[in-house]
Amino acid sequence: MDNFIMPPTGFGPGSQPLDDQDEKLDYMPLPQDMRTYAPHLPDVEVEPETYGPALSLLSDIAEACLSVGEITQFDLSGLDAANRALISETLGEGEVAAKVWEVPALAVQESVFAGVWRITGAGVDRIEVAPIPSCVTDAPFTPRRAGTGNDTPLQDGVQNAPPLLVELQDKSAAYTGEADLHVINLTLLPHTEPDLLWLDAALGEGSVTLLSRGYGNCRITATALPHVWRVQFFNSMDTLILDTFEVTHAPEVVLAAEEDLIDSGDRIKKVLEAIT
């Protein structure tokens, strides 16, 4: 090999001593707290004599996950405190949570197993295996705050909101279960702050709010206009990066896919094998 091809001595990374400034490099902060699945085993000594009902229920939940397409509910009210604690410890808390304002009000928490949901409220404690719990989609557009629709007073600065409301009303009225997802991306459309306030008043607020945590947050609110959801994505610094309205049965971002349910069934079985 000719000498001119070889790098000259004393050049390149690591060839020079570092000074004090080089030793104190400051880097920009990177996004933190991305939630990922990590295997978790209950921190209890599982005795079949004591925890038999919970182990049997977990096995049934795993089978329900593998029966893709069927919505299955499991009532926990008949379990004692120890067995409920084992269920809670095994399932943990996943990315998606919801509040449902009905009578009684319900709190919904997805477990670490996608598609396995814990639903609690006054006199309610159950597990539901489904892409999304039925209580979230039964009547999400029941108004907590009624929308004023086309009668919403026009304030200074309102420019593009009224045509957007007409579009949402049209898609809402024409929606069927087989209709394609319709999205209005506010992030890509010209609008003013008064436009957003006007739309919020015109659409009102429904009875369901969801939060999906992952790489940042996704906050979803049902409006009082049927089939219309407000879907907002925030990065890890809690800065709004995508603001949309979706006309659909339930936003896809919170739905557990068939593959997720099958994977959850397999993982619950592996946990049971490890603790029994």
Contacts of 68 (CB under 8 A, 6+ apart): 258, 261, 262
SS3 74: strand
Cα dist from 40 to 90, 142, 267, 275, whole Å? 7, 38, 10, 11
* Domain carrying residue 189: 149-249
Averaged confidence pLDDT in the chain: 87
Is residue 134 domain-shared with residue 67, that is, in the same domain? yes
Residue 13 has pLDDT above 70, yes or no: no
Burial group, residue 132, by CB count within 10 angstroms (0-12, 13-18, 19+): buried
Residue 24 has pLDDT above 70, yes or no: no
Residue 115 has pLDDT above 90, yes or no: yes
Distance between terminal CA atoms of the chain?
65
CB 256 within 8 A of CB 115: yes
Report percent pLDDT > 70 for the chain. 82
Is residue 166 domain-shared with residue 134, that is, in the same domain? no
Confidence at residue 238, expressed as pLDDT on a 0 to 100 scale: 86
Pairing, β 116-121 against β 216-222 = unpaired
Residue 36 has pLDDT above 90, yes or no: no
The C-alpha angle with vertex 111 and arms to 218 and 132, in degrees rounded to 5, equals 60
Confidence at residue 91, expressed as pLDDT on a 0 to 100 scale: 94
CATH number of the domain at 75, please. Answer: 3.30.1370.140
- Of the candidate ranges 60-64, 211-215, 261-265, the one whose mean pLDDT is the lowest: 211-215
Is residue 172 domain-shared with residue 219, that is, in the same domain? yes
pLDDT per position as a tens digit, 155-178: 999 999 999 999 999 999 999 988
Is residue 62 domain-shared with residue 83, that is, in the same domain? yes
Inside any domain, residue 267: yes
Residue of 153, 148, 132 whose CA lies nearest to 223:
148
- Prediction pTM value: 0.80
Inside any domain, residue 1: no
Inside any domain, residue 243: yes
Confidence of residue 103 (pLDDT cuts 50, 70, 90): confident
Is residue 56 domain-shared with residue 190, that is, in the same domain? no
Cα dist from 33 to 36, 41, 169, 235, whole Å? 9, 22, 38, 11
Is residue 195 domain-shared with residue 271, that is, in the same domain? no
Peptide bond into 104 cis (omega under 30): yes
Residue 28 has pLDDT above 80, yes or no: no
Residue 42 has pLDDT above 80, yes or no: no
b/e per residue 90-106 (b: at least 16 CB within 10 A): bbbebbbbbebbeeeeb
Q: Token pair of 41, please?
A: 């085993």
- Of the candidate ranges 17-26, 71-80, 156-165, 218-227, the one whose mean pLDDT is the lowest: 17-26
Is residue 264 domain-shared with residue 134, that is, in the same domain? yes
Residue of 236, 229, 273, 267 whose CA lies nearest to 115:
267
Count of structural domains, the chain? 2
Beta bridge partners of 245: 184, 230
Is residue 163 domain-shared with residue 238, that is, in the same domain? yes
